Chain A
């Protein structure tokens, strides 16, 4: 099966790039690490959101690697102010556009640091006041940009530079903050989790949120190869396993009621997921009773999630953890 080939030149690539059948909100040439889950997530988000948006971005990896002055990877109107005020900046943009009568949708981008911790207040205020903003949290589970320090999103027992394991500690002591429940408790019209391992699910949820008048929140699980300790080529594999173990449930909430979820067809043991990442390697020392206990704890957390959100699959489903995003080879076409 051969096609007519023309010679590939720089010019032809430039032209080809401009004619891709998708909206490109983030261009190539950005400085993200190899296999960065956040870069991928952001590109998928802008792809689904389209060109009529305005973005407020928190300080963090995404902001840093896309805007090294004089360059910017963004093809959308975009501003970065500070670390902790994205919710408020976005609220201001929204108020202005509303006053001007313009339909442009405001997006707020923040990492887990700028969302769960330092930016929490501004987020809460924005949600409470009902601003028509889609807030997207790129959750890579630590303050990655400053060198992998723990955030309240860091999972239990994970190693970061401020929660290192040692004779007195086994990684992060505290549990991962349940941001989605907190966000949903603001009674907003739509809040959801998704993962870069399921691009169709991600884009669908973004498009859904775009159409809703009012505050919406989407948390995207985005692996960080450097911070999590795996090769960039395994980012999708790792993200998928997080979902398939039950450690990162994929759910949708409308005004605090759960209205959708991605069932897990074949739940995997948490060790399948944890074993791929260096940030959990201290849990695999069989001679350490603490490690054994922590592994059991994490498995219990996963089991709890599966039970609590009723994620156990019921046979084959086109939108479950195995069926979503398959190739059309007997499965469901990509969204």
Chain B
């Protein structure tokens, strides 16, 4: 249609909308959600960015609900997890990483205080029934997720109370009333719990496999690895784990004036600190290294660095790069140990073996030596599954190969680092695998998403902000069993949540909307693609790429047209 000229050639308002400048494009912006490093690092599989965002919006309950859709025990992990999420946090490359660990604990504690309901609905009566052996973190998490998957669950444990290894963690680190509160609320979601049922005695594996649609084994590794020096041990040898359990049960310890704990894991640190509080002159002897940035990570002690730091503050003396050469006995009682500088070095085949350095010997006058060098599964009732190995070998989805409907997780499986968080992750993954198997659904291989890098973010839009730290009791006040670290206040937690960069997710910062020279980014909530608050109007977008560069979180990617 021929357009007629206007008098004086005036034009009507907004009529350029008739010209679609989108035809100019050779590339286009797209919203691309990327996993934040906190998500890819979490052994339980949490997406901390996601629930921090909810907390930042002033929705702590919704934040907790999102959190527990993955990890049902934040009040616990928020105290004992070594928080690899924080090590990976992109903000750590700008000023200080997010205190994800502390905020998780805050949410967990809030849920207990306010009795927030877990997002679980009762499974249908005719749903298949799954058995879980072991009411520790792996077992309880598996049971929780099995319920969420619409299956019925019964959890068995040989002890009188659910909690497993959680009760071996000292109170000042993990108060048992919190453990009981969290587990109590968790069991109240509809998990049937049968205590005092021991595998091999009250239960039998083959029957379980027949009576139940599937079985998840999470017996933990509650048996200490044996220790001796050239075949010799004192007659009153107590291992670290045993002492922790005794302390947890009856709050008593054998008489001793001084002790040398052998080992560098959390068990060693925990028992060492308990001994120290009880007036024992305590040493730790370990062939690996105190955490040191100049040292290769493989040489570091396995315990959580914060715990090691607190042990040192409390007066525990740690002899790293040392091993026990000889026991000095008076009769059958220990009067000391000879220690020597020792390191694990690779042989010419690359395998690590312990090398003692002659000429570096010294004597520690101790009347107790307490090994805590590792733990393994108590194989009672499961012997046939453990021929030739100390731990279960499972697939990436927790299935025991060649054993039909048997799954396993937690400390009992090979390759785990012994943390509660890993156990939680195992429980969830196995529950999802069990549910899929029962639906006759094939799950694809697990692909680890690539976390978004720091370079993809735009730091121009962030400001330095102090990280909130939990209050810690000064050393002289660390008496008794009172919890050493106090939780964040709601204000502190909110402040932390606000510091989150929201890597790879839309922050609703309005940058793209404000800066598009062509008004081709429209603000919306209803029409936005998943996770964003904006749509691109491709009729007019010229593909200049400004939005992608100025997006603080790296959420906009540029794709070829």
Q: B13: CB under 8 A from chain A?
A: yes
Query: Which of B24, B53, B499, B522 meets A16, CB within 8 Å?
Result: B522
Number of residues from B at the complex interface, CB < 8 A? 66
Chain B residues near A90 (CB-CB < 8 A): none
- Residues in B with CB closer than 8 Å to A69 are 9, 11
Cβ distance A147 to chain B, nearest Cβ, rounded Å: 20
Selecting from B164-172, B353-361, B457-465, the interface stretch reads B457-465
Which of A16, A199, A236, A331 sits near B549, CB closer than 8 Å?
A236
A5 to B530, CA, bound (A): 8
Whether B550 contacts A236 by the Cβ 8 Å rule is yes
Give chain B nearest CB distance to A114 CB in angstroms.
20
* In the complex, A162 has a CB within 8 A of chain B: no
B518 to chain A: which residues have CB within 8 Å?
Answer: 28, 30, 32, 39
Task: Report yes or no: A27 in contact with B17, Cβ–Cβ below 8 A.
Answer: yes
Closest to A237 in B: B549
Contact between A330 and B465 (Cβ–Cβ < 8 Å)? yes
A82 within 8 A of B: no
Q: Which residue of A lies closest to B552 (CB)?
A: A327
What is the distance, in angstroms, from B252's C-beta to the closest C-beta of chain A?
Answer: 49
Q: Complex formed: what's the CA distance from A73 to B519 in Å? A: 11
Interfacial chain A residues near B514, Cβ < 8 Å: 44, 199, 334
**Binary per-residue interface labels of chain A (252-270) against chain B in the complex, 1 for a CB within 8 Å, 0 otherwise:** 0000000000000000000
Most buried by A among B66, B462, B544: B544
A227 to chain B, nearest CB (A): 15
Decide: A1 near B54, CB < 8 A? Known: A232-B545, A327-B507: yes
Interface centre among A35, A37, A72, A231 (most CB of B within 10 A): A35
**In-complex Cβ contact of B545 among A35, A240, A316, A322 (8 A):** A35
Residue on A with the closest CB to B530?
A2
Q: Which of A185-238 touch B at CB < 8 Å?
A: 196, 199, 231-237
Q: Interface code B397-435, partner A: CB below 8 Å = 1, 0 otherwise?
A: 000000000000000000000000000000000000000
Number of A-B contacts defined by CB within 8 Å: 185
Contact of B21 among A29, A44, A199 (CB under 8 A): A29
Within 8 Å of chain B (Cβ to Cβ): is A278? no
- CB < 8 Å neighbour of B527 from A8, A67, A199: A8
Contact between B16 and A16 (Cβ–Cβ < 8 Å)?
no
Across the interface, which residues of B come within 8 angstroms of A3, CB to CB?
Answer: 525-526, 528, 530-531
Known: A2-B531, A40-B515, A327-B511. Is A71-B18 also a contact (CB below 8 A)? yes
Q: How far is the CB of A259 from chain B (nearest CB, A)?
A: 25
User: A330 and B14 in contact (CB under 8 A), knowing A2-B530, A70-B3?
Assistant: no
> Does chain A have a CB within 8 A of B135?
no
A72 with B11: in contact, given A1-B531, A5-B529 (CB under 8 Å)? yes
Show 27 A/B contacts (Cβ-Cβ < 8 Å), sorted by A: A1-B53, A2-B531, A3-B525, A3-B531, A5-B528, A8-B535, A16-B524, A20-B523, A27-B14, A28-B17, A28-B518, A31-B21, A34-B542, A40-B517, A43-B519, A70-B12, A71-B11, A71-B15, A71-B18, A75-B13, A235-B544, A235-B546, A316-B464, A329-B461, A330-B462, A330-B464, A332-B463
Interface residues of A (CB under 8 A from B): 1-6, 8, 10, 12-13, 16-17, 20-21, 24, 26-32, 34-37, 39-40, 43-44, 66-76, 196, 199, 231-237, 240, 316, 318, 322-323, 325-332, 334
Besides A13-B522, A327-B511, 6 other CB < 8 A contacts? A3-B525, A5-B527, A17-B522, A70-B15, A327-B552, A330-B462
